[in-house]
């Protein structure tokens, strides 16, 4: 059995299918870890969702910020913007099935035997794994419940930028969503910054990538994530970063997690879609 992790697909179904063929992926034998952002910006979010669901239990997928944006749009908390490309999902005859499947995905997945975490953007540098899992479960419970639409109405906003146990429930949920699905940089106190998105070294003084904060409680785990296209593929003992910018004409990347192997990339130039 091979275990592969794949970066942000974002509606690029042709690239995803090409990558699965390059991996010789067999759902009955192999396993796939997807870092989230299945949808949006690319040309075929509907095709990606249907394909991933078709792969069944061979797939472990966490929610990304674009997946949550789709859910918030369905919930009535956000309107489609000109840059959104998931209208076909909303109009599909099986839209309810697709949305119900998506809202039941976790925000964070932990493989205890491998000491490996799957998350879209990262784990806040001052959270322990226990804190991260507890906070993720709080949001997951809300999304899977009958009042999930209501739970997403207050999802948007950059505040609070720092965690506190004194925050009210809504603020805690918003922080959790932002940290696990949007985080890139923070300061030495763990305060999140959502203005900087360039590669490390381009940020303003006082900020650092979340995974460079000293003495992270989770630096003894391997955290697999995407979200940060400007970071690209980055592999080291404690992190595997996988967003190599497929939707922007870069590549869709898979890495094997169960044993050392070279990354497998699909060149997305010519098959990516950049909305006007």
Domain that holds residue 147: 3-267
For residue 9, give the CATH number of its domain.
Answer: 3.60.21.10
pLDDT tens for each residue of 149-188: 999 988 899 999 999 999 999 999 999 999 999 999 999 9
Asked if residue 272 is part of any domain, the answer here is: no
Asked if residue 62 is part of any domain, the answer here is: yes
Asked if residue 99 is part of any domain, the answer here is: yes
What is residue 271's predicted lDDT score, i.e. its pLDDT? Answer: 58
Asked if residue 256 is part of any domain, the answer here is: yes
Average pLDDT over residues 19-34: 97
Asked if residue 220 is part of any domain, the answer here is: yes
Residue 274 has pLDDT above 50, yes or no: no
Q: How many CB atoms lie within 10 A of CB 152?
A: 25
What is residue 80's predicted lDDT score, i.e. its pLDDT? Answer: 86
For residue 43, what are the contacts with CB-CB under 8 A and spacing of at least 6? 11, 12, 13, 85, 273
Task: Provide the number of structural domains found in the chain.
Answer: 1
For residues 90 and 39, is the Cβ–Cβ distance under 8 A? no
pLDDT tens for each residue of 54-91: 999 999 999 999 999 999 999 987 788 889 999 999 99
What is residue 135's predicted lDDT score, i.e. its pLDDT? Answer: 98
pLDDT tens for each residue of 78-132: 788 889 999 999 999 999 999 999 999 999 999 999 999 999 999 999 999 999 9
pLDDT tens for each residue of 196-211: 999 999 999 999 999 9
User: What is the percent of the chain with per-residue pLDDT over 70, rounded to a whole number?
Assistant: 97
Burial 195-209 (b: 16+ CB within 10 A, else e): ebbeebeebeeebbb
Asked if residue 79 is part of any domain, the answer here is: yes
């Amino acid at each position: 059995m091979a275990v592969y992790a794949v970066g942000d697909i974002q509606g690029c179904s042709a690239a995803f299918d090409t990558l699965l063929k390059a991996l010789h992926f067999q759902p009955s034998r192999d396993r796939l870890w997807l870092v989230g952002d299945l949808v949006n910006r690319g040309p075929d979010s509907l095709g990606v969702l249907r394909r991933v669901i078709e792969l069944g239990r061979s797939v472990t997928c966490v929610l990304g910020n674009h997946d949550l944006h789709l859910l918030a749009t369905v919930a009535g908390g956000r309107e489609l913007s000109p840059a959104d490309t998931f209208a076909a999902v909303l109009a599909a005859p099986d839209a309810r099935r697709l949305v119900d499947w998506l809202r039941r995905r976790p925000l964070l997945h932990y493989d205890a035997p491998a000491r490996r975490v799957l998350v879209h953007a990262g784990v806040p540098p001052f959270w322990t794994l226990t804190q991260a899992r507890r906070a993720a479960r709080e949001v997951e419970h809300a999304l899977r419940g009958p009042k999930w639409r209501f739970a997403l109405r207050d999802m948007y906003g950059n505040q609070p930028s720092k965690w506190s146990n004194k925050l009210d429930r809504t603020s805690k949920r918003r922080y959790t969503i932002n940290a696990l699905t949007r985080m890139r940089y923070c300061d030495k106190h763990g305060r999140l910054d959502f203005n900087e998105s360039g590669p490390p070294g381009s940020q303003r003084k006082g900020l650092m990538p979340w995974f460079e904060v000293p003495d992270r409680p989770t630096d003894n785990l391997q955290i697999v994530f995407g979200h940060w296209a400007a970071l690209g593929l980055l592999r080291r003992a404690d992190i595997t970063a996988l967003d190599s910018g497929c939707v922007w004409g870069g590549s869709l990347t898979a890495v094997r997690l169960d044993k050392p192997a070279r990354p497998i990339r699909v060149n997305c130039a010519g098959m990516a879609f950049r909305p006007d």
